[in-house]
Structure 1
Amino acid sequence: MAKEEILEKVKEVRNAPSCYEGLKKVCDEYLAAAGTAQEAGVSKKLKAELKEDVCSIDHVIPFFESEEGAKVFGADQAKALSKAAHEAKDKGVKYCICPACTAGGWLLDHQDEF
């Protein structure tokens, strides 16, 4: 695995509209520390944050189907997200289908490489 691929995925997480500020901050720290003596420590911090923040597909489906999900996304969008999440799960996707979780899940699957 090329270091560039890891850095690109971190940037994808960081720049995703669905990424919350706390995770963006840790991504920024990692990107700034890449290639320095601080990288290993910040890498551990990033992995811990990803484990805490990246949602599983099994976690988001009930949210999309809930009243709260309908309030957050609107009923039609929540229904569409639920359908898309079920289709993704049927294809073997294990993380939430939002851009931050998709890239973050990839990083979790490759966490032994950075």
Structure 2
Amino acid sequence: MVNENVLNKVKEVMAAPSCYEGLKPICENYLKAVGTAGEKEAADQLKKALKADVNSIDEVIPFFESEEGEKVLGKDTAAHLAAAAKEAKAKGVKYCICPACTAGGWLLDHESEF
């Protein structure tokens, strides 16, 4: 039975501007494999990739606060993201607050469903 929530979250990961380019084809492969004999293998590959690519909130806060983060994102954006990430962490959020990691984190938290 196909879990629509899982499919929607995989699509969210793929559509997110913050999605790592290498993750997109793995998401696509999973979506194509749903309902086929290759679904379990594709799901296992997706889970493995998500575990490698989804950042924790504790990983991104230091990046946002770093010189590299300022260089990549711009000083104001990096400062805004650092503050937003700290606020999210205080509320119990455990994954990076970008759209790709938010959806990917949901998938990791629900990996037994696919």
Q: What is the TM-score normalised by the length of structure 1?
A: 0.98
C-alpha contact 2:12 2:99 (8 A) present in aligned 1: yes
Alignment of 1:1-20 (within 5 A): 3-20=3-20
Cα displacement (A) at 1:12? 0.2
Cα displacement (A) at 1:113? 1.1
Cα displacement (A) at 1:58? 0.1
Cα displacement (A) at 1:21? 1.2
- In the alignment, what sits opposite 1:63? 63
- In the alignment, what sits opposite 2:77? 77
| Overall identity of the aligned pairs, in % | 68
Give unmatched runs, 5+ long, in structure 2: none
Counterpart of 2:27 in structure 1: which amino acid? C
Give unmatched runs, 5+ long, in structure 1: none
Cα displacement (A) at 1:46? 0.1
Aligned residue for 1:112, secondary structure, equals helix
Cα displacement (A) at 1:33? 0.4
Counterpart of 2:35 in structure 1: which amino acid? G
Cα displacement (A) at 1:2? 6.2
Alignment of 1:1-114 (within 5 A): 3-114=3-114
Counterpart of 1:43 in structure 2: which amino acid? A
| Distance in 1 of aligned mates of 2:38 and 2:93 | 33
Aligned residue for 2:22, secondary structure, equals helix
C-alpha distance after superposition, 1:2-47 (max 9, x if no partner): 6111000000001100001110010000011011110000000000
Displaced runs of 4 or more, over 3 A: none
Aligned residue for 2:8, secondary structure, equals helix
